[in-house]
Structure 1
């Protein structure tokens, strides 16, 4: 990726992006949007196929909780290395390799019972291993989206850029429940994984063919020299760690939607399989709209109210509204009102994403991939916990209580924004 001359706080550029980067900029974002959609197709499909996979393999809700958490554990474990790979080699190579990796893991999910490892650790153990490896592959995605956005987008459009890129999860996660439900009902649940893997490989080919680094020879040579990561400065940055803590709260809530929303509609709200597939798209359609919108708004607010207030206001507002709407959706008896509130809750949750990811670039553009990897590790710590804790809470106190806990966690995440100041930067 094209990287302007370094300067400022830990390498932030003092000049704008080269004008030659303007035309391909939106093409890069379109490809990132597509990759984002694939990442969430590959992680959401199992929550739909679980309806047939669980009885086929004799899996319990708790078993599926372990499987969901295995993905997130692998995903969380490799966030920082994934971000560092992007800072070192660029997003083009890293994302191309990752797409092939996780498409292969998606195929293995479909045939997990036939794998030799299943004979050693059982089907549940084999499924946990495969989903862990899928998480490792997908871990490079979001940090490298941020790396690409930092390279291609000017400072005044980075919130919008990362909002568009991550907003692809909305379309990927929205189309997956109805598409996977239709394929599962008319063919077989394994076919869902085969189709997902095929789509991933097609997008990988498009990324290789149409993305580019856009670096001059001098820049390319300079980029082969690793930039030392200021780990001591990173670990001592209070704004970063409050950001990580807040994003952990977002991750806890987000993974409930990714792991349990479809099954919640079918098993708890009593909605049939096909209709549940369509209705489960609601939160992700809201994400598709709210994610880029939040990024655009935070960018527009910066010149008006300043960098810190622009990021903080979006973070606090989105998390507060998400928590309130989830609480209402959990409490009401009406199916329609519950689905509307829970869907809008997801939208407002992701309204904050542009602000979160922009702060990592505000702190240091040079190390944007690494910092976003640190932050996203937090989200996935929350994501490791919630897929298993959510059904446990539901078993003991009911689904209403389980979702109210999620609402409270979202509100806590919003309050933590009061301690985040991107203007502090990272200083040696």
Structure 2
């Protein structure tokens, strides 16, 4: 269903923005709801980490297939099917973590598989609809939905859990997913074949070997890994850090707990606007623009991660985590748009490959954090144990910025 007032590509971008927001409401909401249920049931931090990471196992195995399927049959249809699948799995989640842990793990794996098709499909759709001079701000707006969704979850869902229990969160998330799917069905369309032909479906031949041997692709992969290591660790463990490390529950923090994700939302869009401005005004070429904005974001985030474990007040921790995540969101206008520069025909596939690395980062980071905290005699209450939790990704940020500066490209590598 087309609109006579807005260009169709803007409707597509707006809907993909809402898509990512809904997905991150679900992820943040599950972490909050399950953490509350697990704490009440006396679940250990290591067991909690194992279950929270189950989503990423499913998410990791469907990224590349998601890009391939979207390339073959179109990202529009894949997005619709994926949303229906994860919402049905979400609403089936049991409440009691003590007697249903295996079922919850299975459902989180299934939700991960279904959501793993979404981001590659989104980037396939955007590569087909969005012209090059709008790429940075369009991708940045779409991905900023993740952070707005996380902010919404952090602001409202702890209260929902407190008053209505974890089940209310699962039902609300499923209803949001089904509502988005209905809007997507009626208001999205496939792109005309003549629209941006260089980003149209590439047929059956995909240069897998060239893609996997490309250093610019690996520069994107390394930075996606680091970005998601930091993001998933903070998304999954910030509630525990505030509750047991700083002894302030989320329900008592008011709107301030959403600040990191609101800052990410703002900085993601700032990064996109600045990058497009630099490219269109020829202040820098595409490669230098991507490297500059990526480097600034990741280095500032590394500094924030180094400071974080030295902080003992809640408000300072919120500000510091906001700087960390906001800087990384700014950096996404570098690596996260770059696959459309180097491989517009295969954007979904390259994004699937790099997002697979990002998903493994979630598995490693969430599990490793649980193990580190469990190893401390005081558990998460020991602020010293958080030094290693935040120090590891700080090193990764510096390393990743250097890799991207060295090997990233702004030219089309794959025709």
Aligned equivalent of 1:4: none
Aligned to 1:269: 246
Within 5 Å, which residues of 2 pair with 1:16-31?
Answer: 23-31=7-15
Go from structure 1 to structure 2 and tell me whether the alpha carbon gap of 1:211 and 1:88 turns closer, same or farther (over 3 Å shift): same
Q: Quickly say closer, same or farther: Cα 1:112–1:129, change in 2 above 3 A.
A: farther
Tell me which residue corresponds to 2:275. 298
State the 1:383 CA deviation.
Answer: 1.0
TM-aligned CA deviation for residue 208 of structure 1: 0.6
Q: CA deviation at 1:53?
A: 1.3
1:102-157 CA distances to partner (integer Å, 9 max, x unpaired)? 111211224577xxxx9xxx622222111111111111121122112211111011
Alignment partner, residue 347 of structure 2: 368
CA contact (8 A) 1:142 1:166 kept: no
| Structure 1 residue 86 displacement after superposition | 1.5
Residue 59 of structure 1 aligns to a residue whose secondary structure is coil
Give TM-score, length-normalised by structure 2: 0.90
| Corresponding residue of 2:106 | 129
Check the 8 A contact 1:255/1:386 in 2, yes or no. yes
Cα separation, 1, equivalents of 2:63 and 2:336: 14
The offset of 1:273, in angstroms, is: 3.6
Mapped pair 1:62 → 2:46: yes
CA contact (8 A) 1:48 1:263 kept: no
Deviations 1:349-406 (CA, angstroms, capped at 9, x unpaired): 1111122222111111111110111111111111110001112223346113311222
1:104/1:57 Cα in 2 relative to 1: closer, same or farther (>3 Å)? farther
Distance 1:306 1:273 in 2: 44
TM-aligned CA deviation for residue 335 of structure 1? 2.1
For these two proteins, the number of residue pairs brought into alignment is: 401
Q: Deviations over 1:36-57 (max 9, x none)?
A: 0111111111221133311455
Secondary structure of residue in 2 paired with 1:289: helix
CA shift digits 1:214-246 (9 cap, x unpaired): 4259999xx788331101111110111122112
Q: 1:150 aligns with which of 127, 139, 161?
A: 127
Correspondence 1:248 to 2:225? yes
- Please, which of 376, 383, 387 is the counterpart of residue 362 of structure 2? 383
Out of 47, 50, 54, which is 2:31 matched to? Answer: 47
Q: Secondary structure at the match of 2:270?
A: helix
Cα contact 1:325–1:342 (8 A) shared by 2: yes
Deviation at 1:247, TM superposition (A): 1.6
Deviations 1:327-349 (A, max 9, x none): 22221223211210111210111
Gaps of 5+ in 2: 377-383
SS at match of 2:206: coil
- The residue correspondences of 1:277-356 to structure 2 (distance < 5 A) are 278-302=255-279, 303-356=282-335
Structure 1 counterpart of 2:169, from 192, 212, 236: 192
Structure 2 partner of 1:410: 397
Aligned counterpart, 1:17:
none
Q: Secondary structure at the match of 2:283?
A: helix
RMSD of equivalent CA atoms:
2.5
TM-score (norm 1): 0.88
Deviations 1:18-37 (A, max 9, x none): xx997112111111111101
Preserved CA contact (<8 Å) 1:72 1:135: yes
Which residue does the alignment assign to 1:177?
154
CA 1:22–1:156: 2 relative to 1, 3 Å? farther
Say if 1:110 and 1:194, in contact at 8 Å, map to a contact too: no
- Does the residue aligned with 1:229 lie in a helix, a strand or coil? coil
Would the aligned equivalents of 2:120 and 2:351 in 1 still touch at CA under 8 Å? yes
Structure 2 CA distance for partners of 1:387 and 1:285, relative to 1, 3 Å: same
> How far apart are residue 197 of structure 1 and its match?
0.6
Instruction: State the SS of the aligned residue for 2:93.
Output: helix
| SS state at 1:281 partner | helix
> Which secondary structure state, in structure 1, belongs to the residue aligned with residue 345 of structure 2?
coil
In 2, are the aligned partners of 1:156 and 1:299 still within 8 Å (CA)? yes
> Does 2:90 match 1:106?
yes
CA contact (8 A) 1:110 1:193 kept: no
Contact 2:95/2:166 (<8 A) preserved: no
Q: What 5-or-longer segments of structure 1 have no aligned partner?
A: 1-19
Deviation at 1:281, TM superposition (A): 1.5
Deviations 1:149-190 (A, max 9, x none): 211111011011110001001111001122111111111111
